[in-house]
Every structure is written in structure tokens, then in C-alpha cells.
Structure 1
Amino acid sequence: MADPCPLAWAFRAQKRLGLRAGLSDFPAVPGFDEEHSDARMLKYSRDGSMLGVALENSIHIYEVHADAVKLLHEIPVQKGIELSFSPKGTFLSTWERPVRSEEGGNVLYSKNLRVWDTKTGQLVAEFERRQLDGAFFQFTDAEEYCVRQVSTELQVYDPRNFAQGTIGRLRVDNIGAFQLGPSTNPSVAVFFPEKRGAPASVRLYAVKSMLGASLDAQVQPLAQKSFFKAEKVTFKWNATGTSLLVMTATDHDQTGKSYYGESNLYMLSARGDFDCRVELDKEGPIHDFEWNPSSREFVVIYGYMPAKAVIFSYRVNVIAELGTQPRNLIAFNPQGRLFCLAGFGNLAGTVDIWDRERLEDGKLFTLDASNSSVLEWSPCGQFLLTGTLSPRLRVENGVKIWHCTGVLVHVEMVDEMYQTCWRPQHETVPPFPKQIPSAPACSAAATALLAKKTATTKLAGTYRPPGARSSGASTSDYLHRNVEESAPKPLYHPPAAARGRRKVPGAAPAEPKAVQKPEMGAADVTASEAGTVEKKLRNLAKKLKAIEQLKERRNRGEAMEKTQLQKIEGEQEIRKELQELGG
């Protein structure tokens, strides 16, 4: 089967980097040096044509093709730890930890935020930025303007001529955060936290209205929304830049009802003709919310576990309710046809795949991506990449590639892996087929892993407890049926055996009687071993039941101790041992 699109992905580990491309075995991309033990970050440009890699003593910029890469520039930046490409890949911004020195009694900091031309490798601007959070410029899609926050104002620059300084500004006190929207005529969302009893608010401004503004100029917002209980916000624009979702949150719930604090969701139109609160009918936190790439609807997962998932229109009308499950992550494929509802973090790692055009059929496929830290759709929308990363989990790190039908296509284990992602292909994304395609052939690594699991399952199925044999019940059913009676019962001992033979004081010791020692046959040995195995199975079943109870408490939102979370994390090992014993 030919590749539906030229798939490629990258990873960064403690001792090496890697670029992989091509179904189904994903061989290494030629021309890329993987032996880097000092890599701190890797980042693709939005269209996937360039790749930046931050090393200990330099930044490497690569030109990327479907089956090869070419090193373009080595930029002299030491200890760079974060990178950001502009939307068209024309500029690369780098941030390194600031270093201070004293001159004439003044404390000076290094200009640690730098902007580079990716075609020439030349430095075009540099600024001082002590904190990484919010350090980078936000560029408009056309790269006409870029915006940054400085103290009490937003500043607008022309990235083609940084030397002329600011060409526009928004000077307003108490700016907490901002987010530039997409589109050819973009707006910028600005958050103002609560202050001196006044409510928090979000205001939308047209970027062009900020151009040429003086320090005392009053720029009028396009739209605004005020609310209380908002210490921080998360912005998500739709793809067309016409609507904005704002999640407000507090760290603590003053009512004491929630361990997670309070969260609310609001909608604002960039035209200023519509805004409202998104009414959610299940008590508890908002776990995730995401726009469909079509820009006309969004999905929210909310409420105490098991959480509820609902699709809303861009006018905040309910389109469909997707039920309640222990899920906390939403991901649409680039075409908006398929989407995932997944449960990561402290949840089991189950991923449900839905077809937007067949909601009435419910979830179409489910896959087990336990212990994953990353989930991303491929540019063609047919494959999912999941990754298990350090330091969250230091064992079994690696990447798995799944087809949208739930089939594992490829797997690659990578020791101490810190990053992984698809190579973007925004300019060449093909439309999604009308019918969901079948899965391609699995790679050799995926085939070997599946064969190993199958062999383990068959081996585990050779033993069945005696109580399950005559009834025809499965080992699992037998264990669950008898879990309440799993405590081992004491063996019966005759009274004489319990007390021992009476001894008369002063009497000569009795001659020991000859004791017959019949040889144990194979049947006796098998029965003994079976009893030991059955006892182990009962104990494992008790542990699984205790874990299920802990998971139910966690899903209800109860605070868990570290030892309890460790017990939950050990579930897979217990199930593995259970399978090996025949459970």
C-alpha cells in the first residue's frame, strides 16, 4: 500500500536525536546526525520545511524534505533551551537563560531573546527577556506584524525592519496575558485579571487599530467580556480567527467543593456581535476543550470523573452529547473528520476514535495507549502518534504509530525520550477519504511486538483453576466470582496431631514407628503446584480489586496519596503476572 502522504516524525532523547520517514518501518532519514548527547530542544516550522535543533553550543537549522535533510546554518547561541519559528518559517526566535553583569554600579542583563533570518542565518534583532513564559513575539499569519508584551503595554513591530522600533502599541494597565488570532485581518485577545474588587475581563482588539498609536492613545476594543473567579485564562481561537473560546480558572475553590479549583468557559465573537458563557450541566472541572478545524463547532470534556463530552456549535448550541467516560483530552485530525477522546495522565490511556459524520454509531475504534504523554494526528489525518516520555515515566519510553482503525502500525523504543512529534505538512495536506481506509501492513517491529503479546496470552491460557474447569467458566470469571472468598482457609488437623503424643515423665522414649513414605506421583506434584498457582491467582485478584477501588475514588476527583497512585501505576505489572499464571 502506498503512503497516503509522506509521513515523517522526530524525537529527542538524552543521548541522541532521530528523524524517521516512510510507512511502515519508518527508517532513519539520511543526512541527519543523530549522535547528539547535548540536545535541548527540537522544533519544526509550521509547514514542516525547516527544523531547528538547540544544542549546547549552537543552534542548527535544517532544510527538511520528505526523505532527506540538509544543514543550512549553525547559529552561535550557547545553552539555548527554547525555539520558535514564525508562521512561514522566515524567522527563528531563540531564548537562552539570561546572564547579568555589573557596569558602573548598574546591574545589566544579557540580550537573551534573539530573532534570526532562517535563509541567511543572520541576527535581525535581540532583546532582554528574563522569563521564558511569554518571551517570544507572536507573528501574524502573513508575518506583516509581530507583537510582544512589555510591562504595561503591547508593542507591535515590523519583522522585516526591527531597527525602526515599535510601529504600534496598546497601552493598558494590568495586562495579564494575550493571544494573537489567525486570519489576514487578525485580532488580539487580552486578559486583565481582577484588581481591587473590579472583575476580570477579556477584550479583543484589531491589530491594525494599534498601529501608529501614541502612548496616551485610547484604542477601542472590538468586543469584551467581564467575569469574576478568573486568576488565569486559556485562549483558543478557531481556525478562521472569527471566534474565541476563553477558559477561566482559579487555583482554589472557595466553596470547598473542588480539589481542582474553579473553571468556566466563555465564547466571544471577533466582530463583537456575540458573547456568552458556555453552560455546562455537570459539576466539576473543565478537562479540555477544542475547536473543530472547520471553525463551526467545538468539543468540551467536563465534570468529575467519569467526565462528560459534548459538541457545541459556534453559537453555543448543543449538537450532540457523547456520554460519560474517564477521558480528559480531545484531538481532531487536521481535516476535522475524525476526533479522539482520550484519558491520559492519571487515567488508563484509553483512546476512543469517533467519526464526525457518524456520531449516531458511537465510537468506532478504541486503542490502548497506556502510559502515553503525547498524542498527535498525522497531517493526512489517518494515523496517530503516541509517545511515552521521560521524566514522567522512565521505563518503556518510545513511540507507537496507530492507524485510525485502532491497528498498531509501528513501534520504536527510545531510552529516556523527552520529545516526539510529527513533521507538519500544512501546505500539502490531502483531503480525508469519504470511506475510512483500511490499515497498511504493520512494520517488522510492530509485528514482533504483537506476536510476543499473542504468545504470552496463549502461554497464560494453559492453566485453569480446578473450580473453573467443570463449569466451563473462564479463569477471570472464576477469580472475580471467588474474590470475596479468597482468604486461605486453615487446614484441618486431628486433635492428637494438634496436641502431639503425650509424654509420661521419667518414662523411656518410645521407639519410633516405621513411617511409610510413598513416592509422590506426577499427579500429586501437579496438584501441589496447582494449589500454589491458585493461591497466587487469588492474591493477585485481591490486589486488582483494591486497585479498581482506588481508580474509582480517583475518578470521583478525590485527592490521592503518592503510595495510592503508585499502586494504580502497578496495575499493568499485576495483570502481566496474572496472564503469565493463566489469568
Structure 2
Amino acid sequence: PGGKRAFVHDPAAGVVRCDLDAPAGGTAPATTAFLPGTAAVQLCRPSPRGTYLVTWERPSPSLPENLRVWSAETGAMVKGFSCKKATLRTLQWTHDESLVFHMVTNEIHIYDARTFDRRGRVRCQSVTSFSLPERKGLPSNVIPPKEARYTLTTFAAGVKGKPARIDMLRYPDRMGRESSTTVDKVNVPSGPSLACKTLFNAEEVNVKWSPRADACLALASTAVDATGESYYGSSHLFLFLESDRKNPTAGSVIQVPLPAESTKTEKGIVPIVECQWIPNPMITGVVPFGVISGRMPALASLHHGQTGEPTFLLGRAHRNTMDVSPHGRFVVCGGYGNLAGGMDFWDRNKGKKIPRHVVLPPGGGGEATSYVTIKDASDLTVTSSNPVVGHQWSPDGRTYVVSTTSPRMNVDNGVALYRYDGSKVDESRLPWDNDKYRPDRLLAAEFVPAPFPEDDGAYYYYDDRPQSPAPRSRYTELKGKDADDALARLQAADAAAAKAGGKASSAPAKALAERMRREREGGAAAVSGVKVQAGRKGPVGSSASVVGGSAPANQKSKSAIRRDKQKLAKEKAEKEAEEAERRKAEEEKAKIEANRTDPAKRSKKIKKVLKQIDEIKAKRDGGAELNEDQVAKLATEEELRKELAELGL
């Protein structure tokens, strides 16, 4: 993590250490294992500060402790644990490497990171995973607490009809009532958890921590969607806060409210595609986070870090990844993996897509080479020539790398480098040769991490420098149609270069795909680059949502809206009653008409009614009291006898 060493696994030798500080070509690559007896290792990762390495290999009678902790400085084994499952997440360090948490059945044991002496335990029934923040930073105006505290989350899957449970805990005071810590070899009980959430539709939880380690996003998901709406299962996003604004001594949990513009399924469900924090803890105010939600084309949005409310919409497109530069200013929304590899480069401070500085090659119409700045084009999306597998910002936030690697893709392996504005660095200027990686020889491509500062345990953050302005005497700014023509000219040059390089040109297919994508994302411009008004209830452009402006002058109050609803409900009920009466009268009339068409049938019915009238008369003569229906029937006697006489039967 500090960028000084790289550890590589050689199946013939084991885990080998490579010194990155050595001059290029000064030392031969290491061929002997730095960690003895690690040839069979399958998983390996460093601790947050790089002091330790943890490895996993298949358990065997000769190696019962298959989860081993090593010193990254000396290569000596420090501690061993037993772990049957192929994972390294059962052993995690705090961000400053002072404590180690180890998950076992129904418990999480806490150790001192230097001596591995027991410091306490977290009791959690049916716990399946937990998460600790690997870094923590505080702004310069925040005074750190005197006592070291560490937040963590636990996830217990649902069993025997009980719901799953996500808990936010804090060492040493809020780890659950059944947990305890050890002070001077004495167990000290702990208080309840800071916040918890129970839910039935959760099989696993992916936790992403705020850079200040005081909040986290928990993405709960299921592999199979019980509603049948999605092949990829269902998902729900929750925001856990260590300190509630109303009650600072307790935490809180919020289900993140998604923008009204997110495309829903037929049953009104909004799937969660991606969530990501702004990684810089030094920014002023609350640290925001980003979410990509909805069916494709999905909507990318920025949210408030405490309320979870959406604050800015980055537009709707076929995107499934959000990468934020380390200083938090530049944001890339990309469609990687199974998607086409489109990328949008945003400046979060300005709320706009970044203008692109490019060099246009000579055109077929006799145009000379020109230096232009493409600004305010209809579509500033950057499209990768190959499917993207790896992607990462540089530590200084000035360049962005994408790679096509094996075994995910076994053809056209290589690495492409982009500037922060989306302009691609020419391959002739790269310090590597992509031809050596083709077709399937590239396994990974990553930037060397930034070095750790010597004075504290926080990560180093490069300063957010202004954008590099293009020389106005050299670059010409293009807008509107001129910008679109420049993009088309650039795409044609790329297709010609690919054809000249011996690759099969896919320009016609890509052009068709681009047209289809633009048709599907036709409404993206309406929700791209707009601020979201607090408290709105509708999508962008609706009467209930006025983005970036004040509320309409004719907007009604809540009481007036309630009275209008009551009035409409009353009118609807009256209309339904009138309709029922009219329908009943029509049915009676239809019956009478049907009887008149058959004289014998009508005569039989009249005689039956007259017989009932005679019985009513007998009751009346006997002194019985008649009801309203009987009186009404007596009133029809004269008319019925007249009708019977007319029938002549």
C-alpha cells in the first residue's frame, strides 16, 4: 500500500518480494521465495499499512493453520489460523494496524496486532462477514478523540425464518451487549450496537466506508430476485452513520432515497448498480457519495453524506462503474465488463463534463492537423476500443488507466492511458508496448500507490490542482456542430489507424451501436448535469420538481392539496352512485321489454303478482300492519289487471 514493494506469487517458488525503490535494471528479479513454504498459496494481500501479509492455501493434515500472517519486512511467520473457506476477509486490521479482528463461528475475536494477545470479543450469532475501514482521515479543523475508537459492521444471515441483520459497532464501548473487551486482563461488558437493520431479502452485504470512517454504505443483495424482475437478483442500499445529528451518542441507519429519474422495473423496483464514496476526507463539509441506479440506461447521481438525499444528477447512460479521483474532484462514469466501455469525465466542482483537448489528424477533405478543445458537444462520451476489465485513477488524479486483461478477456490485451479530461495519450508516448501483451499475456495493470507520510498514519492525498489550461494561441475552442464534426473526424481517424494496424475494423458496427445507444438514451440530456432541489417529489422538468430554481408561484399548500383530493373523491363517489342507479334502471327496463315480447310468459308473471296482492289484502283485512313494499305492490293492482286484460289470455 505504501508503494515501496510489490509481492508476486511464483508457483515454482512461492511469494517473491520486489523492491520498487531499486533503480530500473539495477537488480535482477528475485527468484527465491521471500515467504518460505508458500508455493501452494492461492490468496495473498497486505495489511492496510503494509506491515503484514496474510496468505491462504488449502488446508491439509500437515498444515492445519492454513491462514497465516507474515511480516512484510522480515518474511517471518507471525501467527496462524484455521480457515476452510477460500477467503482472506475473516482476518482484518484496523486502519492504523493496532488491532486485528478474526471471525470464527458466532464470534469475532480481537487481538493486539503486535503480540496477538486477546483484547476482547464480539458476540454475533450466525455472523457470516464483517468489515473494518482500511483508512481514516480527518479534516484539519477536527480534533481527534483522545481514546482510540474503531467502527466496524457485522452481517448475520437469516436462518430458520429469522431476518438477516446488519449491525454497526464501535470498539471498545458499543460492540453489543453480549460482547466484551479486556482491560488489564479483566473482561469489561460493552454497550448496544450503534445502529442495526434487519431485512429478509439479503444474502450478502458489500460495505463501503467513508474516508473519515464515520459512515458506511451497505449494499444488501440476493442472488435470485424472488419477484422475477431481474436476472441479477435484488439489491437495497443503506447509509449507516456513527453519530446521529439528533442524538450524537447513538448512530442511525437510512435507506438511501434514489432519484425520481431512475428507471424502475414493471413492479416499481429500482436496482442498485454501483455506489462509491468521494475518497478525500479533507474536503470541506460532509463527504458525499455517488450511486448508479435503475435499469439500463442507469442513472448516476451524487448524494448527501448524512441525509442520503440526491444532490446532483450525472445523467443516464449504460454505465455500471463510478471511479472518483483521490482528491475527489474528477469523476468517471464507465460502462465496463459486459457493456461497451463508454466513459464520461466529470468535474465535480463545476458540475460539468470536462472539455477535451485533442489533436485532430488531417482529414479526407484536405483539412490540416489542428489542435482543438472540444466543448459543449452533443455527446462527450469517450469510447474504449477494447472491453475494459481494469480501471484506476492515478494517485495524483491527473491520469486514468483502463486495461484489458486475462483471463477475463483472452484477446487484445493491453493498457490505455487517458488524461483527466478524457483525451487519450498516444501509444507511441507510453513507456510500455501493448504488442507484448497480445493476445492474452496481461494479467493486471495498476498504478503504484502514493507513499505514506512519515508523521501520521493517514493516507497521503495529492493537492487538487487546477485544470491544466490549453494554450489559447495553439488550441481552438469548438462548440455545438463544430465540436460534433471534430468528434466524428477523430473517430474516423481511430478507425483508420486500427485498420492500418492489421485489426479488423469495426467502425460501421460501432457507428450503428452508437446510434442505437443515443436513441435509447434520448432522455439522458434532460437529467445530465443538473442540481437536485431539496425536498422535491418528482422528476426533472415536472411541476413537482424545479431543479436549480425557486418553487412555482402558483404552487398549492398541503392543506389545499388535501382539500382538492377530498373534493375529487366525493365527486367520484357521487358519479359512481349515479351510474349504479342508471344501470339498475336500464336492467329493469330490459326485463320488462323481454317479458312483453312473450305474452304467455308475461301473463303468467302478472297472475303470480296478483296472487301475492290478494294475500296482502287478506293480511290487511286480518288487521296486520303492512310495510312500504307491500303498500307499493297494492298500488300496482289496477295497472296489472288492465295489462292482463289487454293480453287477452
User: Considering the TM-score relative to the shorter chain, is it more than 0.5?
Assistant: yes
- Report whether the alignment pairs 1:223 with 2:195: yes
**Residue in 2 that maps onto 1:421:** 446
**Residue in 1 that maps onto 2:279:** 293
Within 5 Å, which residues of 2 pair with 1:58-457? 58-65=14-21, 67-68=23-24, 74-76=34-36, 77-100=38-61, 110-135=64-89, 137-162=91-116, 164=117, 166-181=118-133, 182-183=135-136, 185-209=149-173, 210-212=180-182, 220-271=192-243, 272-280=250-258, 281=260, 282=262, 283=264, 284-294=270-280, 296-315=287-306, 316-360=308-352, 366-369=381-384, 370-409=386-425, 410=430, 412-413=433-434, 414-415=437-438, 416-427=441-452, 429-436=461-468, 454=493, 457=496
Which of residues 49, 68, 71 in structure 1 aligns to 2:4? 49
Runs of 5+ in structure 1 lacking a partner? 1-45, 102-108, 440-449, 462-536, 556-583
Moved more, 270-279 or 349-358: 270-279
Please say if residues 163 and 198 of structure 2, whose CA atoms lie closer than 8 Å, have aligned partners that are also in contact: yes
Q: Measure the CA separation in 2 of the matches of 1:329 and 1:136.
A: 27
CA shift for structure 1 position 100? 3.5
Q: Measure the CA separation in 2 of the matches of 1:405 and 1:288.
A: 22
CA shift for structure 1 position 66? 7.7
Deviations 1:453-484 (A, max 9, x none): 849639989xxxxxxxxxxxxxxxxxxxxxxx
CA shift for structure 1 position 358? 1.2
CA shift for structure 1 position 351? 1.0
Give the counterpart letter for 2:4 in structure 1.
S
Please say if residues 55 and 88 of structure 2, whose CA atoms lie closer than 8 Å, have aligned partners that are also in contact: no
Q: Measure the CA separation in 2 of the matches of 1:73 and 1:550.
A: 50
CA shift for structure 1 position 208? 2.3
Q: Measure the CA separation in 2 of the matches of 1:459 and 1:266.
A: 45
CA shift for structure 1 position 133? 2.1
Q: Measure the CA separation in 2 of the matches of 1:305 and 1:363.
A: 26
Please say if residues 355 and 363 of structure 1, whose CA atoms lie closer than 8 Å, have aligned partners that are also in contact: no
Greater radius of gyration (CA): 2
Please say if residues 145 and 158 of structure 1, whose CA atoms lie closer than 8 Å, have aligned partners that are also in contact: yes
- Summarize the Cα distance change of 1:270–1:342 in structure 2 as closer, same or farther, 3 Å threshold: same
- Summarize the Cα distance change of 1:358–1:546 in structure 2 as closer, same or farther, 3 Å threshold: closer
Indicate the SS of the match to 1:330. Answer: strand
Please say if residues 3 and 448 of structure 2, whose CA atoms lie closer than 8 Å, have aligned partners that are also in contact: yes
Indicate the SS of the match to 2:351. Answer: helix
- Summarize the Cα distance change of 1:134–1:215 in structure 2 as closer, same or farther, 3 Å threshold: farther
Please say if residues 303 and 310 of structure 2, whose CA atoms lie closer than 8 Å, have aligned partners that are also in contact: yes
Q: Measure the CA separation in 2 of the matches of 1:142 and 1:546.
A: 48
Tell me the TM-score normalised to structure 1 length.
Answer: 0.64
Indicate the SS of the match to 1:421. Answer: coil
Task: Give the structure, 1 or 2, with the largest relative contact order (CA under 8 Å, sep 6 or more).
Answer: 1
CA shift for structure 1 position 390? 1.2
CA shift for structure 1 position 320? 0.7
Deviations 1:45-70 (A, max 9, x none): x1112211111222112332285587
- Summarize the Cα distance change of 1:246–1:436 in structure 2 as closer, same or farther, 3 Å threshold: farther
CA shift for structure 1 position 403? 1.3
CA shift for structure 1 position 167? 2.2
Tell me the TM-score normalised to structure 2 length.
Answer: 0.58
Please say if residues 286 and 301 of structure 1, whose CA atoms lie closer than 8 Å, have aligned partners that are also in contact: yes
CA shift for structure 1 position 226? 2.2
Give the counterpart letter for 1:335 in structure 2.
H
Give the counterpart letter for 1:252 in structure 2.
V
CA shift for structure 1 position 268? 1.0
- Summarize the Cα distance change of 1:378–1:257 in structure 2 as closer, same or farther, 3 Å threshold: same
Please say if residues 257 and 310 of structure 2, whose CA atoms lie closer than 8 Å, have aligned partners that are also in contact: no
Q: Measure the CA separation in 2 of the matches of 1:95 and 1:459.
A: 43
Please say if residues 309 and 323 of structure 1, whose CA atoms lie closer than 8 Å, have aligned partners that are also in contact: yes
- Summarize the Cα distance change of 1:117–1:545 in structure 2 as closer, same or farther, 3 Å threshold: closer
Q: Measure the CA separation in 2 of the matches of 1:188 and 1:335.
A: 25
CA shift for structure 1 position 408? 2.4
Among the aligned pairs, what percent are the same residue?
28
**Residue in 2 that maps onto 1:104:** none
Please say if residues 244 and 268 of structure 1, whose CA atoms lie closer than 8 Å, have aligned partners that are also in contact: yes
CA shift for structure 1 position 368? 2.2
- Summarize the Cα distance change of 1:135–1:200 in structure 2 as closer, same or farther, 3 Å threshold: closer
- Summarize the Cα distance change of 1:310–1:426 in structure 2 as closer, same or farther, 3 Å threshold: farther
Q: Measure the CA separation in 1 of the matches of 2:21 and 2:239.
A: 40
Moved more, 388-397 or 273-282: 273-282
- Summarize the Cα distance change of 1:407–1:458 in structure 2 as closer, same or farther, 3 Å threshold: closer
Indicate the SS of the match to 1:457. Answer: helix
Give the counterpart letter for 2:449 in structure 1.
P
Runs of 5+ in structure 2 lacking a partner? 137-147, 174-179, 244-249, 265-269, 282-286, 357-379, 453-459, 472-488, 523-649
Please say if residues 230 and 250 of structure 1, whose CA atoms lie closer than 8 Å, have aligned partners that are also in contact: yes
Q: Measure the CA separation in 1 of the matches of 2:339 and 2:324.
A: 20
Q: Measure the CA separation in 2 of the matches of 1:379 and 1:116.
A: 27
Give the counterpart letter for 1:268 in structure 2.
F
Please say if residues 354 and 363 of structure 1, whose CA atoms lie closer than 8 Å, have aligned partners that are also in contact: no
Give the counterpart letter for 2:298 in structure 1.
A
Please say if residues 147 and 156 of structure 1, whose CA atoms lie closer than 8 Å, have aligned partners that are also in contact: yes
Q: Measure the CA separation in 2 of the matches of 1:266 and 1:455.
A: 43
Deviations 1:185-208 (A, max 9, x none): 221100122233332221111122
Please say if residues 205 and 222 of structure 1, whose CA atoms lie closer than 8 Å, have aligned partners that are also in contact: yes
CA shift for structure 1 position 362? 7.2
Q: RMSD in angstroms over aligned alpha carbons?
A: 3.6
Q: Measure the CA separation in 2 of the matches of 1:278 and 1:434.
A: 32
Please say if residues 84 and 136 of structure 1, whose CA atoms lie closer than 8 Å, have aligned partners that are also in contact: no
CA shift for structure 1 position 451? 12
CA shift for structure 1 position 399? 1.3
- Summarize the Cα distance change of 1:458–1:178 in structure 2 as closer, same or farther, 3 Å threshold: closer
Q: Measure the CA separation in 2 of the matches of 1:401 and 1:261.
A: 34
CA shift for structure 1 position 402? 1.5
CA shift for structure 1 position 393? 1.5
Whose strand fraction is larger, Structure 1's or Structure 2's?
1
CA shift for structure 1 position 288? 0.6
Deviations 1:5-41 (A, max 9, x none): xxxxxxxxxxxxxxxxxxxxxxxxxxxxxxxxxxxxx
- Summarize the Cα distance change of 1:543–1:129 in structure 2 as closer, same or farther, 3 Å threshold: closer
Moved more, 259-268 or 127-136: 127-136
Q: Measure the CA separation in 2 of the matches of 1:396 and 1:217.
A: 58
- Summarize the Cα distance change of 1:257–1:62 in structure 2 as closer, same or farther, 3 Å threshold: same
Indicate the SS of the match to 2:445. Answer: strand
Aligned length: 415
Moved more, 140-149 or 219-228: 219-228
CA shift for structure 1 position 407? 2.6
- Summarize the Cα distance change of 1:232–1:388 in structure 2 as closer, same or farther, 3 Å threshold: same
Q: Measure the CA separation in 2 of the matches of 1:158 and 1:309.
A: 42
- Summarize the Cα distance change of 1:438–1:328 in structure 2 as closer, same or farther, 3 Å threshold: farther
Give the counterpart letter for 2:342 in structure 1.
T
Give the counterpart letter for 1:74 in structure 2.
F
